[in-house]
Amino acid sequence: MRQEPWGDRESMTPSERHHRLTQIFISVCNLEGEERRQELDRLCLERPELRAELDLLLSFHDSVTRPAARPGRPPNRSRS
């Protein structure tokens, strides 16, 4: 089993885990499709719980920042 450079889940403090999630999120949030999937696979290695959390964060991020990616919902228009 490959050891991640940031340690095992049990050895990471909440602060270290948050820092790692933030690093990965920032590095992949502007990628799309297969390129994003491959980079997440590489960065999360054998950490399915980390990957699952990032998938949720990225899904929310995309729904807010990419209105066209929200099927059935009109773009948010500000009232003048």
The pLDDT tens digits for 1-38 are 344 444 555 678 899 999 999 999 999 999 999 999 99
3-state secondary structure of 20: helix
Domain boundaries, the chain: 37-66
Burial 45-71 (b: 16+ CB within 10 A, else e): eebeebbebbeeebeeeeeeeeeeeee
Instruction: Please report, rounded to a whole number, the percentage of residues in the chain having pLDDT higher than 90.
Output: 54
* Alpha-carbon gap, residue 13 to 33, rounded angstroms: 31
Q: 56: which residues sit within 8 A by CB, 6+ positions away?
A: none
Candidates 51, 17, 19, 20; CA nearest to 36 is 51
- What's the whole-model pTM score? 0.68
- pLDDT (tens digit per residue) in 52-69: 999 999 999 999 887 765
